[in-house]
Amino acid sequence: MSTSNHAPELQTPLLSVDHKGRPVYRSNSGGWRSAGFILGVDVAERFAYYGISSNLITYLTGPLGQSTATAAENVNMWAATATLLPILGAFVADSFLGRYTAIIVASLIYILVKKKKKNPSSQLGSLYGFGIPCAAMVISLVIFLLGTKMYRYSVKLDKNSAFLRIGSVFVSSIRNWRATPSAIALEEEARGTLPHPSSEQYMFLNKACHCFGQRIGTGIFLSVATMVIAALVEMKRLKTAQEHGLVDLPDVTIPMSVWWLIPQYVLFGIAQSFTMVALQEFFYDQVPSDLRSVGISLKFSIFGAGNFLSSFLISVIEKATSGNGRYSWFDNNLNRTHLDYFYWLLAGMSVVQMAFYVYSAKSYIYNRRGAV
């Protein structure tokens, strides 16, 4: 008979407790039963996030009357802020509140923010666009609370803060910059921070294993292909507008099937599945157990930095290509824009990024699970 079928008192308790601080066992806590409740919150949060982001560009260019370029900049700034703030939340969760309380607090903030945006104008579409994600978050929070008794709550065994332990690695690396790898290895092993192989390459934190690298690299390659296809499709759209004399009629539908957009979105989705999953595993697996929330938030910070960069690029390109009677790359008349140039630029930047990633990935050393 398996251990999961034994009575709890005959099993070995885990290094976790229940919601009342009592020891927990595999047979009556955790697993898919509790994961289902947490996944419900995650699905609803993603639904709310993309529901807002999808409606935001329309709201900014419609009721608020912003130009296409300005709206694009603001959407990128909003997305960047939304994906960088989790670092602060993760720090609070890992150091003070705990992950359970942090999820509740974050969900309530999400709901309150959405409630304020729920009726930004008298337009019914905007009300549904912001109201439905708000309702989804309310339902998800209720579902999450229903699983309270099934969750496992971590107990900190090390009195020293994980941030202090990681900080000591940086301090030690600077102090021992000229020291031999073997000397640094002995000090790190004594501190119980990072395993010595990382020190031989003066790495501050351990790197991902070959499997992580392959999947992330595949995702980056597919993102390059996505930008190339997007540029080609946009060139086709502009050419079609010219052939049918619709260049100065931006409100008229161009006779071009929407199916032209499918390949780039499918490829983008596949690229995301490679990159997002691998990055989540990498950051979760390669940080100390006390900093798992911070590790996951670092994954989102990558995309936040990308959004800030995108907003900056749009601003610079808009100023450089507009004025003196010229149509900018992001003109309000989409038939006069050059989004194809922008896509080619992103494709080129992605190629440089991929080359840098391949070069860096060669020195990646996998941190064995539980070594930190």
Q: Which pLDDT does position 160 carry in this prediction?
A: 57
Q: Which pLDDT does position 126 carry in this prediction?
A: 61
Q: Which amino acid is at 107?
A: S
For residue 12, count other CB atoms closer than 10 A to its CB. Answer: 9
Q: Which pLDDT does position 233 carry in this prediction?
A: 94
Give the CA diameter of the chain: 81
What would the two tokens of residue 300 be? 């989102």
Dihedral over alpha carbons 88, 93, 97, 99 (to 10 degrees): 140
DSSP 236-259: HHHHHHHHTT-TT-TTSPPS--GG
pTM: 0.69
Q: Which pLDDT does position 3 carry in this prediction?
A: 43
What distances in angstroms separate CA 132 from CA 124, 236, 318, 343, one per listed residue?
A: 12, 36, 34, 32
Question: How far apart are alpha carbons 68 and 122 in whole angstroms?
Answer: 22
| Per-residue pLDDT tens listing for the chain (372 residues) | 344 444 545 555 556 776 777 777 676 677 777 888 888 888 888 888 887 887 888 888 888 888 888 888 888 888 888 888 888 888 787 777 878 888 888 888 877 776 655 544 545 566 666 778 788 888 888 888 888 888 877 776 555 555 566 666 566 656 656 655 555 555 555 554 444 444 444 444 444 466 777 888 899 999 999 999 999 999 999 999 998 888 888 888 888 888 999 999 999 999 988 988 888 888 877 777 667 777 778 888 888 888 888 889 988 998 888 877 788 888 888 888 889 999 999 999 999 999 998 888 777 666 655 444
What would the two tokens of residue 283 be? 């950051």
- What angle (nearest 5°) sits at the alpha carbon of residue 207, between those of residues 203 and 210? 135
CA-wise closest residue to 292 among 102, 48, 148, 12: 102
Question: How far apart are alpha carbons 361 and 365 in whole angstroms?
Answer: 9
Q: Which amino acid is at 298?
A: L
